[in-house]
Amino acid sequence: MPPTPHPAPTPALPTVPIAVRRFDLAATLDSGQVFHWRRFDDGFIGLIDRTPVFLKQVDPTRLLVTPGTETAVAHYLALDHDLEAITATFPQNDPSLARAVAYAPGLRLIRQPAWECLATFITSSLKQVAHISQISHALRQQFGQPVTWDGPTLHTYPEPAALAAAGARLLQECRLGYRARYLADTADMIASGSLNLSFLNDPTVSDHDALAHLQRAPGVGPKVAACVLLFAGERLGFFPIDVWIERTLKELYFKQETHVPTEKLAAFARQHFGPYRGYAQQFLFHYARTSAATPHKRRP
């Protein structure tokens, strides 16, 4: 480490170690499932719901976390997911998928708070990851609540009532564009009780019904709904198809064909990748976006 010139060195935050296996913090937080974690002192800071947390992975088997947050962190990061068992269900004759898994074997699908996840993905349409993150932070700053702790002040994701009260006009100031109306209207549905997100994690509600419920919300179509069911509902059989995955699937599995409809890709994903295809999607997506060998576009 060269001596830091003027700005004061970031004060080290207190941590306790927890043991991890097959876990990659950076890949997990930077694989497009969550957008509010910020780099801090070779680690990340952010909120798990309302709990401020500093996370830092020092080696493949050790994760440093803010004291007292161990249980919340383990649950949020889904450290209990058995990745060996999950990847064992993947097709064994698929070198492309194997390459994507080998690229970031410790990538995990985390358990996000439902509303925060839904709202964030409503704002994600036709946006680049950097911009989604920017919008997310702006909304927190403007309409969330500050949380003070040892580290830099963080802001909670605003409650549905706060965004509903703000209204589309005010939300617009966070550069949401046409998404402001969707977000305000969905926030209103939830604040008024006309939509209750508790079905997301309710095992008695089928995937089919959960998808239908979610799509009642304005700004929520098949792609956003699949993301929420996967990232907040822990329904690992959902397979969101965005432009990246669409390109990837066409390139890898439909090279010869032109004009492959999305429905055909979805059907292929269902039968080819198996019950944990949500994980397969995440591995393929992360590989396509961050490895140098992306198919068409080459912009990380």
By CB under 7 A, name the binding residues for DNA: 31-33, 124-132, 134, 172, 175-178, 182, 215, 217-225, 227, 240, 242-244, 261, 285, 297, 299
Q: What are phi and psi of 18, to 5 degrees?
A: -130, 145
Question: Minimum CB separation from DNA for residue 58, in Å?
Answer: 26
Q: What are phi and psi of 255, to 5 degrees?
A: -50, -40
Of the candidates 243, 237, 202, which has an alpha carbon nearest to the alpha carbon of residue 32? Answer: 243
Strands (E), 123-243: 146-147, 154-155
Q: How many CB atoms lie within 10 A of CB 61?
A: 13
Starting at the earlier edge strand, list the strands of the sheet with 51-59.
Answer: 16-19, 62-65, 51-59, 43-48, 38-40
Smaller CB separation from DNA, 155 or 179: 179
Which pair of structure tokens corresponds to residue 11?
């004060």
Smaller CB separation from DNA, 69 or 282: 282
Smaller CB separation from DNA, 106 or 222: 222
Question: Minimum CB separation from DNA for residue 22, in Å?
Answer: 21
Q: Which amino acid is at 151?
A: G
Of the candidates 199, 202, 201, which has an alpha carbon nearest to the alpha carbon of residue 212? Answer: 199
Question: Minimum CB separation from DNA for residue 131, in Å?
Answer: 5
Question: Minimum CB separation from DNA for residue 59, in Å?
Answer: 26
Smaller CB separation from DNA, 41 or 172: 172
In three-state secondary structure terms, 74 is helix
Question: Minimum CB separation from DNA for residue 212, in Å?
Answer: 12
In three-state secondary structure terms, 146 is strand
Smaller CB separation from DNA, 99 or 175: 175
Smaller CB separation from DNA, 23 or 244: 244
Question: Minimum CB separation from DNA for residue 62, in Å?
Answer: 26
